[in-house]
Amino acid sequence: MNNDNCVFCRIANGEIPAHFVYNDDDVMAILDINPVAKGHMLVIPKYHAKYYHELPEKYAKKIATTLLLVTKALEAENYNILQNNGKLAGQEVPHVHFHVIPKPSKDEGLGIRFPSKQETSEALTELAKEIKEKIDKLL
Ligand code: AMP
Ligand code: ZN
């Protein structure tokens, strides 16, 4: 792992202890040290990138299968999967990680606000076209 100043790279290297629930060559899942609710876990690729979109596809795929594993093991009726990108979006540790956060009651777990806005059908059509063109270039 390639960043000596990164807490998750250091955990992956065995330099800092953590409570592992899953570990392989490409990904690890650990308990969050300051859980929002009991069972709060982090799924972390063993690749130092700040943003999700910077990950090689191999790691994105491994994260997906690991999220399936840990959420099955969690056996929670209600839970959130959260992944923050960038400081403004709430990212504190600049190494990609997915939070798996049980929501055992209204007051425990994540409090989510969805400040939705109205948008015209024409504006959505135009935006979908723009994004689709960019996706087509990436394929
Ligand atoms: P974020 O705000 O999405 O960057 O979340 C960072 C998360 O990493 C927080 O929930 C922290 O509690 C958690 N965290 C930071 N250091 C450690 C650590 N050494 N072991 C486990 N979790 C950690
Ligand atoms: Zn790192």
User: pLDDT tens digits for 69-91?
Assistant: 999 999 999 999 999 999 999 99
pTM confidence score: 0.96
Pairing of strands 20-23, 27-31: antiparallel
User: What is the Cα 43 distance to its own chain's centre?
Assistant: 7
Nearest-angstrom CA–CA distance, 102 and 31: 12
Spatial neighbors of 94 by CB under 8 A, at least 6 apart, are 6, 50
Q: Count each helix (H run) and each strand (E run) in the chain, helices first.
A: 3, 5
Identify the weakest region by mean pLDDT among 1-10, 44-53, 62-71, 116-125.
1-10
- Residue numbers annotated as active site: 97
Nearest-angstrom CA–CA distance, 11 and 8: 5
Which atom, in ligand 1's list, is nearest to the CA of 40? Answer: 10
Instruction: Report the separation in Å between the CA atom of 91 and the middle of ligand 1, taken as the mean of its atom positions.
Output: 9
In this prediction, residues 92-108 reach a mean pLDDT of: 97
Which atom, in ligand 1's list, is nearest to the CA of 18? Answer: 20
Query: Which ligand number lies closest to the CA of residue 41?
Result: 1
Pairing of strands 20-23, 41-45: unpaired
Spatial neighbors of 28 by CB under 8 A, at least 6 apart, are 11, 12, 18, 20, 22, 43, 44, 46
Query: Which ligand number lies closest to the CA of residue 98?
Result: 1
Domains of the chain: residue spans and CATH: 7-138 (3.30.428.10)
Answer yes or no: are the C-beta atoms of 97 and 59 closer than 8 Å. no
